[in-house]
Structure 1
């Protein structure tokens, strides 16, 4: 079993849930179902799983009277050998988008408090009415205030290190250099720069990581990633509405090209000549709602709150998993990156995608800053009640844009993320790529 941070979050919810059911969102294949099963079997005397995709006949449990008493009676009628042990049972409602009545019933299950309830499903971020799957039902009443939504992402780099066998003490030792702003011993630094390159290629999809840790075979990595990408393509064809199917797929397929340009701002013309937001804007939103991509918006003013100064017509689009981006680039590009031989603008886009993914996993929202003077900062983040600029370098070149930003705005903290070691120059802290996990 891969160790996941989500497990601790589930434990925290169990111990402090109050009148809340947990609603786990996230892209397909990030391990939502697996982690809940392991949690339920390990932490509860009784674990009941209802998957509405595999067993649509169980929808009848939530028909009619939606009181908790009736629902639990219906469960006992319809599921053989079920054990409902008060305060020691976890009910897992998977693929809940297939049963609108079950989603509505979360309110009454939460109020009842006798049994813990977790719900999850594919593409839960899609607004009802935007999903073309005829089996996805529109909710009569969303249980606002009674469900606690939480996002699950692919494995982050720290979880990748756990899978490799690196423990808490090793990672704490590594973090000490980030905290003290001292250089990491060169041999150790090179080791982790090599490991972050492996993480870029393998990515964080659990099935891919688990197979890689067992076999250390990059050909098998590519095969499993291709399978994940095929499932994403199936999701688009099944869930995007009408003519949006082709447009959503075209937008998704364009991302590797968009990130390989020097200017990585998303351009509709990269999809179709003279195309505009009017045609493809909804498709980008669909991909974001499906958690298949991460959107990074330009901000006109690097001040709190960044959301107040967003330019929603200027943005970058990153893949939700850098390993999937590498799979689209192909095996030869993976080889070049692993050997640190890759050159050109595509390399910069790959490292930007990596940092975007790591920042999202750390809980930051994504913004970049591009004023009119042609300089650009890949990311600006809200950290410690300040705006902190982050410039990303695939190698270790000069930080012209970051230096201009510091000079103009006088930042208290600024970060250069590069393929180098830790270094400090005034307020500018240089950190190697892998240390974004501590940011």
Structure 2
């Protein structure tokens, strides 16, 4: 019980510092669902799912009962077995055990880390039909076989993916909401920020790429403005992920670890497509598919697939054997890149921040953009053409996303996005892509470290990298 109190205090402390966009989505679910569905919050370990659910319950309901299945005793799990058809008794015993009074239509019950006890998830259909209380589930690894075995996934379950904090949320935490609002206004009006604010936004974005968006490292950085304790926090998270791989990726854990450890090296290449031959010269995608799926399902990695046709419905032309693999959090990518050392001290981080030592800038910026697009709900796709066939031009477009296009009456079109880390660069691939698919695509974007430039006639925007969260 004492540990539970400590956990609650940690939750309140963390949330008091960090505002999450997902909170508004929970409010929308509560009002629109009105108890007719449960909400499943999916996300990586340590991304703040428990914090979000608990704080929402404490703030928006008369009472909140949290059952953490990672540490729930056998007695609590037995309640679900013994009283699965007797909810009066189930609620009575849970209320007494956790010392939380339940109020009909005014209590939120949270099944935290529900993947550790799938039977509770299987009961959601009937609990929702009972109608007395609202339900939120949190979990990770919710699609692997052992976590859905012998249960029926409830149709009464809505889902919400909780991503690491994006750059806008990081700015809120750093008490820079005014700057965040100005960035959005600048994007909407397609007018650049004043130079001084532009430089400030770029500097903060570089800090964000090193810290990342996991709540604990961000909280530490907001409070201490130091990188060494942030790195220690991130290393604990990476070690937690490695422990999860050993525990849950039974039978193919070596492949999962190989892919995870290979991400920094793959993203450091000019062509960032994942080359399995770098892991094993005889490796084939069919034998590694499960490893990529596991990392994606654990929300540790973001997988970006090649699309052969830039048309709305990119998944229809998806090539599953051609992919890029990004870390779901850029700060954790930095820590993976530093993994050869037992720790990365303050001076190393600050040297990277100043650009004095060569941690691959292209690796970080492209991963950061992938993370930003994913946080906005985009599935990740890229376009590639080798140029090896007769009459074929070489093209490599970093990302393709679907966005409303003003010149098509607001209907969705595919927007190509190129990411550039140096101040001097070319756009040969983007020029070729736009010439070939001109009638199929909408706005084109180049994300770069310079000021905003907008060509209305060409429908081409050069955006500063810190505007990625606006796309």
Q: TM-score, normalised by structure 2?
A: 0.87
1:148-170 deviations in whole A, cap 9, x for unaligned?
Answer: 11110111111100000022x44
Aligned: 1:392 with 2:419: yes
Alignment partner of 1:295: what SS? strand
TM-superposed deviation, 1:435: 0.4
Q: Is the 1:197–1:337 contact (alpha carbons within 8 Å) kept by the matching residues of 2?
A: no
Decide whether aligned partners of structure 1 residues 294 and 354 sit closer, same or farther in structure 2, where only a CA change above 3 A counts. Answer: same
Match of residue 81 from structure 2: 63
Give the CA RMSD over aligned residues.
Answer: 1.8
Equivalent position to 1:292, from 300, 308, 320: 300
Q: Is the 1:326–1:334 contact (alpha carbons within 8 Å) kept by the matching residues of 2?
A: no
Q: Is the 1:362–1:437 contact (alpha carbons within 8 Å) kept by the matching residues of 2?
A: yes
Match of residue 160 from structure 2: 150
How far apart, in 1, do the equivalents of 2:198 and 2:40 lie? 39
Q: Is the 2:44–2:298 contact (alpha carbons within 8 Å) kept by the matching residues of 1?
A: yes
Aligned: 1:339 with 2:357: no
Match of residue 240 from structure 1: 249
How far apart, in 1, do the equivalents of 2:382 and 2:299 lie? 20
Decide whether aligned partners of structure 1 residues 288 and 333 sit closer, same or farther in structure 2, where only a CA change above 3 A counts. Answer: farther
Alignment partner of 2:165: what SS? coil
1:331-386 deviations in whole A, cap 9, x for unaligned?
Answer: 47744441134658x32121110000000001111000012332200001111110
Structure 2 alignment gaps of length 5 or more: 1-15, 339-343, 388-393, 405-411
Aligned: 1:209 with 2:218: yes
1:95-114 deviations in whole A, cap 9, x for unaligned?
Answer: 21222321111111111222
Alignment partner of 2:395: what SS? coil
Match of residue 310 from structure 1: 318
How far apart, in 1, do the equivalents of 2:384 and 2:374 lie? 20
1:60-105 deviations in whole A, cap 9, x for unaligned?
Answer: 22114534444323424x5153311111111111121222321111
Equivalent position to 1:113, from 105, 110, 131: 131
Match of residue 409 from structure 2: none
Match of residue 350 from structure 1: 364
TM-superposed deviation, 1:402: 1.1
How far apart, in 1, do the equivalents of 2:379 and 2:89 lie? 42
> How many residues matched?
427
Structure 1 alignment gaps of length 5 or more: 130-135
TM-superposed deviation, 1:207: 0.4
How far apart, in 1, do the equivalents of 2:352 and 2:462 lie? 21
Equivalent position to 2:453, from 399, 414, 423: 423
How far apart, in 1, do the equivalents of 2:225 and 2:274 lie? 35
Q: Is the 1:91–1:115 contact (alpha carbons within 8 Å) kept by the matching residues of 2?
A: yes
Aligned: 1:16 with 2:24: no
How far apart, in 2, do the equivalents of 1:438 and 1:421 lie? 15
Q: Is the 1:86–1:114 contact (alpha carbons within 8 Å) kept by the matching residues of 2?
A: yes
Alignment partner of 1:273: what SS? coil
Alignment partner of 1:254: what SS? helix
Aligned: 1:376 with 2:396: yes
How far apart, in 2, do the equivalents of 1:377 and 1:137 lie? 37
Q: Is the 1:103–1:139 contact (alpha carbons within 8 Å) kept by the matching residues of 2?
A: no
**How do residues 106-255 of structure 1 correspond to structure 2 at under 5 angstroms?**
106-124=124-142, 126-129=143-146, 138-144=149-155, 146-167=156-177, 169-242=178-251, 244-255=252-263
Alignment partner of 1:274: what SS? coil
